[in-house]
Amino acid sequence: MILKKYKGKLPDGKILPVISNQKLNAYLKEIADICGIKKNLTFHLARHTFATHLLEQGTDLRTI
């Protein structure tokens, strides 16, 4: 459904919209505020946290 929503509507043959790192971090800050999270969430932090969880679940480091 999501792919159908954007099909033929984006420039340069993109399949999904791309947002800037700055905008993504603003969204994460908004989510943190709503959830009562005091930590400064950023994409960089989220990426490393996700990798840590994968490692804890036994995923091979080369895959991550």
Q: How many CB atoms lie within 10 A of CB 41?
A: 19
Structural domain of residue 27, as residue ranges?
A: 17-64
Report the pLDDT averaged over residues 5-9: 93
The answer to whether residue 55 is domain-embedded is yes
Burial (CB < 10 A; 0-12, 13-18, 19+), residue 34, is: exposed
Token readout for 8 is 């033929």
DSSP symbol at 55: H
The answer to whether residue 4 is domain-embedded is no
The answer to whether residue 2 is domain-embedded is no
12 with 2: CB under 8 angstroms? no
Looking at the 3D structure of the chain, how many domains does it have?
A: 1
Residue-wise pLDDT tens digits, 10-63: 999 899 999 999 999 999 999 999 999 999 999 999 999 999 999 999 999 999
Residue 22 is predicted with a pLDDT of: 96
